[in-house]
Amino acid sequence: MTDLSTTYLGLRLKNPLVASASPLSKRLDRARQLEEAGIAGIVLYSLFEEQIIHESLELDHYLDRGTESFPEALSYLPDGGLYAIRPEKYLNHVTGLKRALKIPVIGSLNGVSKGGWTNYARRIEEAGADALELNMYYIATDPETSSNDIEDTQVDLVAEVKSAINIPLAVKISPFVTSLPNFVKRLVDAGADGIVLFNRFYQPDFDLDELEIVHSLDLSTSSDLRLPLRWISILHGKVNADFALTSGVHTYTDVLKAMMAGAQVAMMASNLLHNGAQAVAPILSDLAAWMQKREYRSIRQMQGSMSQKSVKEPAAFERANYMKVLSAFRELP
Ligand SMILES: Cc1cc2nc3c(=O)[nH]c(=O)nc-3n(C[C@H](O)[C@H](O)[C@H](O)COP(=O)(O)O)c2cc1C
């Protein structure tokens, strides 16, 4: 029998395929379908710092305080839509999902600054979440702000959240960091049990007729896998944390690659949003079939087998490979 089980953040999972944060976790029936299809764990869509601050400012507003900052805080929030949710409702949803599902449920907080809003980490734990994912989606636009300033704030935020909870903490990060291994090490030293690589950044486009910004969200393809694949390969065995790969997981071969790089789990959103829960079973059966054919007995056996520490050509992950790839390119005749 092929053993597909893995552990992530101390949680035992029946296989390495986890649904990453997305609107799929908004409805209990959808989440149940994912569980029935074989998904081993589910990360909830995020509760945002802005939503929590907005809620408390609104309260202040009605208590006749903080009226100055109230309109500004309102402007951050989309009117309605999938992510317009009251923090209390989010907590109730965590409890509802926990009751409805047997698989682990991971809550998600999304924010960048330290402050009272991080109390929600403890409240998500109290609501029943098995673990917490902290997403620090941030775009630096001020030339006066240094990478050190940003990293220090994020490391402090991780320490603050970690000290508020007893459940494991994973941190979802950006790939755009000058020294990713150093930053990851700092996050782990601050208390992160797992690192989720990577946040997918949604780039605005221009509408040339209307001269307006176009907000578009393109779903990923398997080619998006390469970036997290490289970095998990580099980090595996060097930093004492679990790794979750997110971005570009669509097929069983993507899951295999994630495991061989050194990830504990492969997370999927775009494929599930596009194809629904029916995408899950074929990936798991093809994964097991491939492993059986190649005589792998367990997922554990392959985890990290293609990491930088394990491969015959470690330089393939580094600058040396850059020149090699460029010189191997053949122009069209
Ligand atoms: C519609 C949509 C909503 C998402 N919402 C969240 C969210 O609330 N919090 C979060 O951390 N990531 C969110 N993500 C990012 C996904 O969890 C995932 O990291 C990203 O889509 C890359 O994985 P994929 O290639 O499988 O789509 C969202 C993605 C999509 C497409």
Residues 114, 158: contact at Cβ < 8 Å? no
Q: Two tokens at 224?
A: 């998006």
Distance 33 CA to ligand 1 centre (A): 19
Q: Two tokens at 251?
A: 């097929």
Q: Can you tell me which atom of ligand 1 is nearest the CA of 83? A: 8
Q: What is the 3-state secondary structure (H, E, C) of 33-101?
A: HHHHHCCCEEECCCEEHHHHHHHHHHHHHHCCCCCCCHHHHHHHCCCCCCCCCCHHHHHHHHHHHHHHC
Nearest CA to ligand 1 atom 3: 22
Distance 17 CA to ligand 1 centre (A): 15
What's the pLDDT score for residue 62? 46
Classified as helix, coil or strand, 16 is: coil
191 phi and psi, to 5 degrees?
A: 125, 0
Residues 133, 43: contact at Cβ < 8 Å? yes
The best mutation among 22, 25, 245, 273 to test binding of ligand 1, ranked by most ligand atoms within 8 Å of the C-beta, falls on: 22
What's the pLDDT score for residue 74? 52
Helices (H), the chain: 28-37, 49-62, 70-76, 87-100, 119-126, 147-164, 180-189, 226-235, 252-261, 270-275, 280-293, 299-302, 319-328
Distance 20 CA to ligand 1 centre (A): 6
3-state helix, strand, coil in the chain (%, to 5): 45, 15, 40
Give pLDDT tens digits along the chain (333 positions).
Answer: 899 999 999 999 999 999 999 999 999 999 999 999 999 999 999 999 888 887 766 555 544 554 454 455 555 556 555 566 689 999 999 999 999 999 999 999 999 888 878 899 999 999 999 999 999 988 899 999 999 999 999 999 999 999 999 999 999 999 999 999 999 999 999 999 999 999 988 889 999 999 999 988 899 999 999 999 999 999 999 999 999 999 999 999 999 999 999 999 999 999 999 999 999 999 999 999 999 999 999 999 999 999 999 998 898 888 878 888 888 888 888
What's the pLDDT score for residue 58? 59
Residues 21, 273: contact at Cβ < 8 Å? no
Residues in contact with ligand 1 by the CB-under-6-Å rule are 20-23, 45-46, 108, 110, 135, 172, 200, 217, 219-220, 224, 246-249, 268-270, 273
Report d(CA 136, CA 157) in Å as an integer.
9
What's the pLDDT score for residue 67? 46
What's the pLDDT score for residue 81? 59
